Structure 1
Amino acid sequence: MQSDRDPVIIAARRSPIGTRGRALAQLRVEELAAPVIRAALADAAAANGAPVTVADVLLGNCMGPGGNPGRIAALAAGLGHEVPGVTVDRQCGSGLAAVLDAAAAFRAGDDRMRVAGGVESASTAPVRSVDGIAYDRAPFAPAGFSDPEMTRAAEDLAVHDGISRARQDAHAARSHARARAARSAGRFDAELVPLAGLQHDDAVGGAERLLPRLPALFPGGSLTAGTATRIGDGAAALVLAPAGTAPGLAIRASAVLGCDPALPGIGAAGAIQAALRSAGLDLADIAALEIVEAFAAQSLAVLDRLGIADDDPRLSADGGALALGHPWGASGAIAVVRLFSRLVRAGAPAGTRGLAAASIGGGMGIAAVLEVVR
């Protein structure tokens, strides 16, 4: 449902996604985020015809050092002492949640421009410990609830839904092929801010050739290293402005829902359905979909619940996280950057709609419906 209080994303940039421990491994979260914020603000100033004054910086982050990376990145980007910052943790949906939190301020009547996005440095994330004993992650659910590790949860979902190894391999191969074609055609170039000498996402390549030969991650299972995304380092930043400021993507509707923590991979499906209902739309009205691909089985389970074909050309048309990588707290915002490139930069007419979504650890889903305005 359209409203004159719906904010518009007028600029969208991201870093390349570096596989954990590789090209971006030496960069702290603010060193990833600050150059991307500056690039997005330069684009916004060009679109606006005047410098942009920022009211707040909201960044998603899951595993960082603490100390409020949103504020630290705002200072590192040179925005001045008076610009505050906040960090949002909704796990794999954090970057998109930060965008929706920024949008809420506009709908409450505060029309000052904001930067929203996400950042993750898996390479520099601190080791967590209790009583001197290190652990890989904090729990996603309290005692008494199912709390599977995400790879295990994806395998369980494949079994639950009867999703075959062959189907998962085909989905991952399609993601890699689309990403490789997009990279060759230069479709990532305008959104990327090179960092530490990295010009492009370092996971994109010919991985689909290896998929049939990779061993299962669990005995007798179907999940492999090729159908699970690579954990990555990266950042994304978007500039939100009042309606009428400049062309871009208006945020029309959104939803965040919970689901069974034992099957967290299905969360995006319910959120997508709820966001579409809120917008008064159905999937036939959506021209471009970006659903974070943490695992092939997870993506396919969501598609099945929505009635979307595996090879639907609207879905991650330039490849998804299986090919590009998955910097947890940034991935939801990267999905919106991708929609901006696919729709706004590509010249889609006003009224063209896109949808970004993610399933979330602990059993949640998040989704947003966006519309091109000219």
Structure 2
Amino acid sequence: MNDQAMVVAARRTPIGTAGHGLAGVSVDRLLTPVLTAVAADAAIDSATDAVRVDDVVIGNCVGPGGNIARVGALAAGLGEDVPGVTVDRQCGSGLAAVLLAAQAIRAGDASLILAGGAESASTAPRRAYRAVQPGEPDSPYTRAAFTPPEYGDPDMGEAADALAAATGVTRERQDAYAAASHAKALAAREAGRFDAELVPVAGLRHDERPRPLRESVLARMPAAFVPGGSVTAGNSCPVSDGAAAVTMVSARTHPGRPGLRLVAGAVVGCDPRLPGWGPVPAVERVLSRAGVGIRQVAAVEIVEAFAGQVLAVADAIGLDALHRDAARVCPDGGALALGHPWGATGAVSVVRLFSRLVRGGAPAGTLGLATAAVGGGMGVAALFEVVR
């Protein structure tokens, strides 16, 4: 019988807008303090190795290359015998890292893994083609391809505009959702609901981004990606810096710990031209595997890359994210308000579920869902259950 994987600790850095509060902090230095924090929260004594960390699994998209998970593990003092692996599933990297850790635990290959994600858009290296060889492109490097050319390889903003148009999500709904995300985040910060999960870095103690927004101001913003389109800077996430991590353990070898048990996880593919649709089949798969419906899920964290994308996904899975289910969908605001450090945000979603449900006192059996869209046409989702 497969083991059960549980999240028993969850922390994150404040999220900084690229070029601002965390601009001088490299990605491994963003990661290190959250690894240290979740290790301490899980009562790991790395000096005596009383509880062994079997691995560190970290998501990252645009970092310097190499293995930042190993660098962070060493800098956090976890011990020279603790390895690390860095994974790239684009904007789903942090959540995918958590699922990979769970798979190792369920298979019996590990009993305790630190997993999460880190991104420093501010310090990401500029890349350039090497000396051009015959037959090679001579244009400057812009980004890695999400798809082969025949699939169109759309940028995320362009693809979000296409998804909003295809699903009939209006500009007015997008602006209303963006304003609501900021309002939720400001209320959560004022109420102290972020305090227990935050690890201060470089003097930054709170998320930089959330601010009061009026829909009337958002309505005046021009289209950002497609002429005449509905996606603007106001209803899109900002480029950001940050890191998040969780401690995931075997329920068999670490019994009696309150936390979030992973019920089901999935990564699926979808139309590469509409990558924002990916959470829909991913969520449908995890709910089917768990034998539950979306109405049974108390909290849903959708990575808010674009308001139009969140609304399209929420509509499709049966949630009214603006009205009836506003208190369930990103209840303390999401990436639109807090920021979107690409490789980390999926892990931030798990941290948010942990705070909302475990720290917040939800009863045993309460369900929480995290999901993200992924460049190239993929979706990742994870369903968790509160254990007391």
Aligned to 2:84: 85
What is the deviation of 1:51?
5.2
- Matches of residues 85-124 of structure 1 in structure 2 within 5 Å? 85-124=84-123
Q: How far apart are the structure 1 equivalents of 2:360 and 2:54?
A: 29
What is the deviation of 1:46?
7.8
Residues 1:228 and 2:242 aligned together: no
Instruction: Pick closer, same or farther for the CA change 1:241–1:341 going to 2, 3 Å.
Output: same
- Matches of residues 1-374 of structure 1 in structure 2 within 5 Å? 5-45=3-43, 52-131=51-130, 133-208=139-214, 210-217=217-224, 218-243=226-251, 244-311=255-322, 312=325, 313-374=327-388
Residue 253 of structure 1 aligns to a residue whose secondary structure is strand
What is the deviation of 1:130?
1.9
Q: How far apart are the structure 1 equivalents of 2:229 and 2:209?
A: 24
Where structure 1 has 5 or more consecutive residues not aligned to the other structure, the ranges are none
Identity of aligned pairs, percent? 58
What is the deviation of 1:109?
1.2
Which amino acid letter does the alignment assign opposite residue 116 of structure 2? Answer: G
| Deviations, residues 150-179 of structure 1 (Å, cap 9, x unaligned) | 011111112212211111000101101100
What is the deviation of 1:110?
2.7
What is the deviation of 1:4?
6.5
What is the deviation of 1:53?
2.0
On the 8 A contact 1:172/1:208 being kept in 2, the answer is no
Residue 236 of structure 2 aligns to a residue whose secondary structure is coil
Residue 219 of structure 2 aligns to a residue whose secondary structure is helix
| Deviations, residues 169-209 of structure 1 (Å, cap 9, x unaligned) | 00101101100000000000000001111111100111346
Q: How far apart are the structure 2 equivalents of 1:354 and 1:198?
A: 29
Instruction: Pick closer, same or farther for the CA change 1:142–1:177 going to 2, 3 Å.
Output: same
| Deviations, residues 100-137 of structure 1 (Å, cap 9, x unaligned) | 00000111113421100000001111112224653231
Structure 1 segments (4+ residues) deviating >3 Å = 131-134, 207-210
- TM normalised by structure 1 equals 0.96
Q: How far apart are the structure 1 equivalents of 2:54 and 2:192?
A: 33
Residue 67 of structure 1 aligns to a residue whose secondary structure is coil
On the 8 A contact 1:270/1:365 being kept in 2, the answer is yes
On the 8 A contact 2:106/2:250 being kept in 1, the answer is no
Q: How far apart are the structure 1 equivalents of 2:111 and 2:378?
A: 30
> Which shows bigger deviation, 249-258 or 303-312?
303-312
- TM normalised by structure 2 equals 0.93
Q: How far apart are the structure 2 equivalents of 1:6 and 1:122?
A: 35
Root-mean-square deviation over aligned CA pairs: 1.5
On the 8 A contact 1:350/1:373 being kept in 2, the answer is yes
On the 8 A contact 2:2/2:107 being kept in 1, the answer is no
> Which shows bigger deviation, 202-211 or 320-329?
202-211
Q: How far apart are the structure 2 equivalents of 1:59 and 1:255?
A: 18
Equivalenced residue count is 370
> Which shows bigger deviation, 130-139 or 311-320?
130-139
